[in-house]
């Protein structure tokens, strides 16, 4: 993927120059923090406790406890927080809970918290987490993501006055005008957010108090229409006027609100309250690149990480490898999938095109072998949503995917991740593998390798802090029937996907992805992580 390549270059640069911003050199190590039961969590709102219990949550994970202390506890949102914590460790709730808790005492509905994620599916997943807790304290959550109707968004986000019988809407009436937003919290993708900022009447970030940049490294890698500088600028605009810290909002001459974001006294401001937006940045592979981090304009940032290594795999993840004979990699994959029959598996490939072909090929092996569906940026959103829904429900057990599914997606009971194509970069490995072994559960990550990839894979494993990756032995009796039907399945695939005259020596297959042309590869890569 073009994105992962950029990531790789950036990582290589960081690794060689060893540039680390000073505040990252003294992190809070979350691996020394214990889980905490809801009963003993200080200051937790009783209705939030109930909502969490309804979700089946009885205690907070370490990263959630650490962020809680820094925001609700003694830290009191004094500093911006940057979290680097493994996949599946519960980062979503680590920011959702303190934001909902602090906003639970708000008097007037305004857009106070903005959560930005790189893809539509991720944004909707995170909205689901807020939806599970925010209504319990009277807060409303909205979403603004691509490929949904703008009119629908506007109806959901902007409050229009109700014209009840006998009551007239009076735009001069401040009490009617106070609530312009229909939501307190907005979960958005950058493109749709910019649409609203530029075009939606009544949409304002004037009262924003919290900004969450989830999957930070991914979001900072691309400018997405300059969304971040725009948001920072719009929230700074209302910082010009300072209001007494005891007055959380003041009706202005225009009937709208003005918000003091932080009521703390900042260094160098001689006792004056200095309004600012509180920011939280999170990822399992948080960038350490100063030129990227500077874009966030962080305030006395506090860095939370887990352990001494840069990246960390989930504790209960088991890594295994399969060394495949040249030219018959799909046979190994089908053999492995037969060995894992009945369990939920995600198979990652290197591109949209390989995803499409591999999925077709597997289905040509016949229903009795493998039933697989595909998920990639090459499909339209409706199809992707349908497939992911079926996968969540368990109607589909095998999902062949590009890296569109690698980051953040939380699908329950995925017990196996299979790297059909070896990931090129440590970050890609971390995110792919992290679709399993989530929330302290067990999971396995298999990587299929050709002989020529073994050395490179060993060096990649070292970078993700995992030295042990034994060979997985597929039971030999599973291979023979698969081998027997490989050639006919391949022939069917050739007929179905090879309208272009094959080049000399070119075969349909998955042995070498380099066979696709450069422009094709670039196209595929470019779409593979698109929302
Ligand atoms: N305190 C908790 N108790 C039990 N389960 C939890 C708790 N917190 C989160 N979970 C569950 O853990 C899973 C992983 O959480 P989440 O998606 O927030 O992880 P993450 O750290 O953001 O992962 P990624 O880096 O892959 O995005 C989810 O299914 C979530 O419901």
Structure tokens at 338: 């037969």
Per-residue confidence band for 162, with pLDDT thresholds at 50, 70 and 90: low
Q: Is 517 a residue whose pLDDT tops 80?
A: no
Position 466 scores a pLDDT of 76
Q: Is the CB of 183 under 6 A from ligand 1?
A: no
Crossing angle for the helix pair 91-103 and 46-54, to the nearest 10 degrees: 150
Q: Model confidence over 425-465: pLDDT tens digits?
A: 999 999 999 999 999 999 999 999 999 999 999 999 999 98
Q: Are strands 317-323 and 443-449 parallel, antiparallel or unpaired?
A: parallel
Structure tokens at 35: 């889980």
CA of 485 to the centre of ligand 1 (A): 41
Q: What is the CA angle 146-404-429, rounded to 5? A: 145
Position 248 scores a pLDDT of 36
Q: Model confidence over 215-249: pLDDT tens digits?
A: 999 999 888 889 999 999 999 854 444 333 333 33
Question: Minimal CA–CA distance to 444: which of 434, 454, 453?
Answer: 434
CA of 407 to the centre of ligand 1 (A): 13
Measured in degrees and rounded to the nearest 5, phi and psi for residue 530 equal -70, 150
Per-residue confidence band for 117, with pLDDT thresholds at 50, 70 and 90: very high
Measured in degrees and rounded to the nearest 5, phi and psi for residue 27 equal -80, 165
How many Cβ atoms sit within 10 Å of the Cβ of residue 488?
12
Structure tokens at 530: 């698109």
ipTM of the modeled complex? 0.99
Residue nearest ligand 1's atom 27 by CA: 408
Q: Model confidence over 458-467: pLDDT tens digits?
A: 999 999 987 7
| pTM for the structure as a whole | 0.85
Going from the C-alpha of 270 to that of each of 79, 237, 241, 244, 304, the distances in angstroms are 18, 22, 16, 15, 29
CA of 57 to the centre of ligand 1 (A): 11
Position 360 scores a pLDDT of 93
3-class SS at 37? strand
CA distance 42 to 74: 10
CA of 63 to the centre of ligand 1 (A): 10
Question: Minimal CA–CA distance to 213: which of 192, 232, 196?
Answer: 232
3-class SS at 334? helix
Position 516 scores a pLDDT of 39
Terminal C-alpha separation, the chain: 14
Domains of the chain: 20-161+175-239+247-305 (3.40.50.300), 317-530 (3.40.50.300)
- Residue 505 backbone zone (phi > 0: left; psi -120 to 50: alpha; other: beta): left
Q: Is the CB of 95 under 6 A from ligand 1?
A: no
């Amino acid at each position: 993927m073009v994105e992962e390549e950029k990531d790789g270059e950036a990582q290589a640069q960081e690794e060689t120059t060893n540039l680390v911003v000073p505040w990252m050199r003294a992190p809070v190590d979350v691996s020394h923090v214990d889980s905490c039961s809801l009963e003993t969590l200080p200051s937790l709102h009783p209705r939030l406790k109930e909502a969490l219990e309804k979700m089946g949550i009885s205690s907070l994970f370490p990263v959630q406890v650490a962020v809680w202390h820094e925001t609700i506890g003694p830290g009191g949102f004094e500093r911006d927080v940057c979290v680097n914590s493994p996949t599946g460790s519960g980062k979503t709730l680590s920011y959702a809970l303190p934001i909902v808790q602090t906003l639970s005492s708000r008097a007037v509905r305004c857009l106070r918290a903005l959560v930005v994620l790189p893809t539509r599916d991720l944004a909707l997943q995170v909205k689901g987490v807020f939806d599970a807790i925010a209504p319990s304290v009277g807060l409303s959550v909205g979403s603004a993501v691509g490929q949904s109707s703008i009119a629908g968004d506007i109806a959901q986000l902007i409050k229009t006055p109700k014209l009840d019988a006998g009551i007239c809407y009076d735009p001069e009436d401040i009490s009617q005008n106070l609530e312009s937003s229909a939501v307190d919290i907005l979960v958005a993708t950058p493109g749709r957010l910019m649409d609203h900022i530029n075009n939606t009447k009544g949409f304002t970030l004037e009262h924003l108090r919290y900004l969450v940049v989830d999957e930070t490294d991914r979001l900072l890698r691309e400018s997405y229409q300059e969304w971040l500088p725009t948001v920072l600028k719009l929230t700074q605009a209302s910082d010009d006027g300072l209001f007494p810290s005891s007055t959380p909002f003041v009706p202005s001459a225009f009937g709208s609100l003005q918000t003091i974001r932080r009521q703390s006294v900042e260094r160098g401001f001689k006792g004056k309250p200095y309004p600012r937006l509180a920011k939280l940045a999170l990822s399992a592979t948080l960038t350490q690149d100063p030129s990227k981090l500077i874009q966030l304009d962080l305030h006395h940032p506090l860095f939370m990480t887990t352990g001494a290594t840069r990246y960390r795999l989930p504790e209960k993840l088991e890594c295994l490898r399969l060394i495949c004979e040249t030219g018959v990699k799909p046979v190994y994959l089908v053999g492995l999938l037969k060995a894992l029959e009945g369990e939920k598996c995600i198979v990652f490939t290197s591109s949209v095109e390989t995803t499409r072909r591999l999925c077709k090929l597997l289905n040509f092996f016949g229903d009795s072998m493998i039933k697989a569906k595909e998920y990639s940026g090459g499909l339209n959103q409706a199809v992707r949503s349908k497939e992911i829904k079926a996968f969540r429900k368990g109607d589909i057990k095998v999902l062949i995917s590009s890296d569109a599914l690698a980051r953040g997606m939380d699908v329950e009971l995925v017990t196996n991740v299979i790297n059909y194509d070896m990931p090129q970069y440590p970050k890609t490995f971390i995110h792919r593998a992290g679709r399993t072994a989530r929330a302290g559960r067990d999971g396995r990550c298999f990587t299929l390798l050709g002989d020529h990839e073994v050395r490179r894979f060993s060096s990649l494993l070292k970078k993700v802090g995992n030295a042990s990756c034994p060979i997985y032995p597929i039971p030999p009796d599973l291979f023979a029937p698969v081998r027997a039907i490989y050639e006919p399945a391949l022939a069917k695939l050739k007929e179905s996907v090879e309208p272009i005259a094959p080049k000399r020596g070119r075969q349909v297959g998955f042995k070498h992805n380099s066979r696709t042309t450069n422009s094709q590869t670039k196209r595929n890569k470019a779409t593979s992580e698109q929302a």
